[in-house]
Each structure stands twice: as structure tokens, then as C-alpha cells.
A = this chain, B = another copy of it.
């Protein structure tokens, strides 16, 4: 299984992309293809000893910028590194894509080139959050702002399969994010989703609240992309604000500063525990292939781990398992959908 790395996407491309890809090849033995400007990429590669590593370079002439619109980027920049990376998967020359570029464009390119997985109406982006117990996968944090219940049910199934096979959770518990745990809570969307999930062959734990994301009562948290985006940005913003406020208080007195220096190891351990780079990237679930979306400001470690998990994702045939689980879980729904399709086809 080979991972195509969009070498031109991130804020520090191709420096961290090349270093991260080399590290993944070295530490985890992952075969890698770096996609981008060959000269720039080779220049970076020359910095490392790549003896015995399976690293290819594939040329592309264009780059999708962070401010390019997702669809324009895909349609207009046909030779962009991100689009070419997905084309390699389509042609069978690679099995997964990792990009730290424009995430909307990555999702659009994945959808456009590889199409959706059988049984999925809306691909989703999932993000791993650190919790008191370990890790929780939250989806969708992507662009699905107005969802129907069946979309959330599909997210739940995709999240279940990913947590089981890539994150190594034995029997993933699924929670539906709501405004309270009681059945009487929720909005129109969650109430209907709740009813379907109770009938679905996953370990469904019912409604969870915002606080439960971090105490780790479930392994997978399902919500629409609007709420998921608020959850993601709020968490980042709150963590940052708490850090800033605390730092400013610590700066106020000499004693506090000394105290901070003494406990710095604890702070660093804590930072490591909540470091997004440990998880590498956010899997793009529901396309007929493997995509891993990294933060634009990703460091080498994040790229390395993203390549590692993308490789796992491809290796464990997660998409095939998702398609099977979907077919098993939503047979009535699938039949209805098939009937509508056939009717439409004439």
C-alpha cells in the first residue's frame, strides 16, 4: 500500500511534507510518493539519507492555495498536486492521499476524482480529540451543515468502522451529540437520528452532551458539520485562551515564574498528551479511497503520523468494511434508495 503525499499543500510545503514522508518511510516502512514540483521536492529530499526507502516523486505543475475556492481549485487547476495525488489513487499507482493543503479543496478533489463510497450520500471529515480516557473521534467536522438523519447514521457507521480498525477500539461506543442526555432532549434532526440509531447494529450509547466529548464516555461522537465545526474551533480557541490567560498570570510575579519553570515538565507532558500531531490528520471518510487531511500548519510529526494512519486505513481495507457495515445496517433504507434510483432510471 502506497501513500501519495501532496508535497505542496501546507504552510511550510514542501519542507515538512518531505521530512514527514521520509520519517514515515523510515520508521514505519510506508512506501511513499511525493507529488509536486520535482525540483523543489528533490532539493528537500537531498537533505536526508533515503537509502533503501521506497520513495517516489511525481511531478505536478500547479498548487491549490488556501484562498482558492474548493470547486474552482479542482476544476481549474487540473494539474494541482492535490488533484494529481487523488488521480494516482484512481489509476492504482497509490492507495491513499495525505494533504496539509486547503481542506475544502482536498475534500472536493477526493470526491471529484474518486467519487463516493457505495451507500454514502455525504462524505465527512472526522477529527480525533484527546480525552481523559484516551481518544474520541468526532464527525462531521467538515462541510455538511444541513444534514438529514440518514447522513448522521452513515457518519455513525463510518466512525464505528474507523474507530474499530484504525484506532484499534474493540467495540466502539457511539454517542449522538445533543443538548442533554434524556430522550426528551435534542432537536428535530437528532430525535429522528436517535430513533434510527437505536435500530442500527452499532453499540449506540444514546445522547451525549458537550462535556462528554472530553471525559471519553464514548469513542465516536456524531453531529452535523455545523455543530462539529463549532466544537472543533471552540475547543482550539478555549485551549488557546486558557493558555494565554494562565501565562499572563504566571508572568505577574517572580515566584510564579520560578514555579512554572519547576513544573515545566508537567506542562510539556500535558501538551504532548493533547498534541494534535500525535494523530496526524483528520480522515476523510466516505469517498471511494483514502484521504487524510492535515492542518495547514502541520509539523513533520503530524505529517509522519498522517502518512502512518493513512497507510493503516488503506491496509485494513476500512472502506470495504464500511460498505459492508452500511449494507448490513441500513438494508431497508438502501433498498428504498435503490428503488428510487431504478425508477428514476426508467
A255 interface residue (CB < 8 Å to B): yes
Q: Is the interface of A mostly helix, strand, loop or mixed?
A: helix
B226 touching A210 by the CB < 8 A rule?
A: no
Centre residue among A178, A262, A269, A274 by max chain B CB count within 10 A: A262
Contact, CB under 8 Å: A187 / B262: no
State the A residues within 8 Å of B (CB). 131-132, 143, 145-146, 177-180, 185-188, 190, 209-215, 223-227, 229-242, 244-246, 249-250, 252-253, 255-267, 269-270, 273-274
Residues of B with C-beta under 8 A to A252: 266, 269
Collect the chain B residues with CB atoms within 8 Å of residue A215's CB.
237, 240-241
Residue of B nearest to A211 (CB): B237
Decide yes or no: A179 and B132 within 8 Å by CB, A235-B238, A259-B264, A263-B256 being known contacts.
no
The list of the 9 closest CB pairs from A to B, nearest first, reads A259-B262, A211-B237, A259-B263, A210-B233, A210-B234, A179-B229, A214-B241, A249-B266, A145-B187
A145 and B264 alpha carbons, distance in the complex (Å) = 43
- Rounded to whole angstroms, the CA-CA distance of A225 and B178 in the bound complex is 11
Residues of B within 8 A of A261 (CB): 259
Some 15 contacts from A to B, beta carbons below 8 A apart, are A145-B187, A145-B188, A178-B226, A209-B233, A210-B234, A210-B236, A210-B237, A211-B237, A211-B240, A238-B239, A245-B270, A246-B270, A250-B263, A252-B269, A255-B265
User: Which chain B positions have C-beta within 8 A of A235?
Assistant: 210, 234, 238
Return chain B residues, CB-CB under 8 Å to A178. Answer: 226
Smallest distance from the beta carbon of A286 to chain B beta carbons, Å?
18
Residues of B within 8 A of A240 (CB): 211, 214-215
* Choice from B186, B237, B249, B259 contacting A145 with Cβ under 8 Å: B186
Do residues A250 and B231 form an inter-chain contact, with CB atoms below 8 A? Answer: no
- Residues of the B chain whose Cβ atoms lie less than 8 Å from the Cβ of A241: 131-132, 214-215
**Chain B residues, Cβ within 8 Å of A209:** 229-230, 233, 237
Contact A238 B238 (CB under 8 A): yes
* CB-based contact A230/B177 at 8 Å: yes
Q: Are A256 and B246 in touch, CB under 8 angstroms?
A: no
